[in-house]
Amino acid sequence: MIGRLRGTLAHKQPPSLILDVHGVGYELEAPMSTFYELPETGAEVTLFTHYAQKEDSVSLYGFLKESERRLFRDVQKVTGIGARVALAILSSVTVNDFARFVASGDVAALTRVPGVGKKTAERILLELRDRVSPLSDAADATRGHVPTDALGEATVALQQLGYKPAEAHRMAAAARADGDTAEAVIRKALKAALR
């Protein structure tokens, strides 16, 4: 499995790009959210990747942020959604906006994404409600998106301990008091969870 590639951006023409890694050109498909932030061709770039093999094809997808790759994978776990719709979602909305739509049950916002009808939007809400969080990008330490507030840091730490994003956020929010450090919030949240 190929999880990450670092190389020279040799070509970019949405929806695909070619990354030259020590003389081997990897062709990847990527969402527009990644294309918007790519450097000029000839520059070095690191991409998180998703490798997909079907009976008749092999595909490689690239993402600048780990949270985008995670959402791409999560969305495809929804019944009836494949890579094309997952890429359309990431090309249309940010990870945080998508998480907010799911958390608030906003069917109308989801149906504005190309390829997502009302029934598909309802399935997304039903099947992904516990998998996404408004703090999805907060875990992107590799891109420097580390939260600086105690609540954000505690939420990320609880996710790393195995709690689902929405659950981690609820636990941290319930435990936090004014002036608490991230460590104090984590300690109180874990103590409350053991009761």
CATH number of the structural domain 4-63: 2.40.50.140
Q: pLDDT tens, 53-66?
A: 888 888 999 999 99
CATH T-level assignment (fold) for domain 147-194: Helicase, Ruva Protein; domain 3 (1.10.8)
CATH T-level assignment (fold) for domain 66-128: DNA polymerase; domain 1 (1.10.150)
The percent of the chain in helix, strand and coil, each rounded to the nearest 5, is: 50, 20, 35
Cis before 15? omega within 30: yes
pTM as predicted = 0.65
Task: Calculate Rg over the CA atoms of the chain.
Answer: 18
pLDDT over 70, % of the chain:
90
Q: How far apart are CA 86 and CA 69, in angstroms?
A: 10
Position 153 scores a pLDDT of: 79
Q: pLDDT tens, 147-174?
A: 557 787 788 777 777 777 788 888 888 9
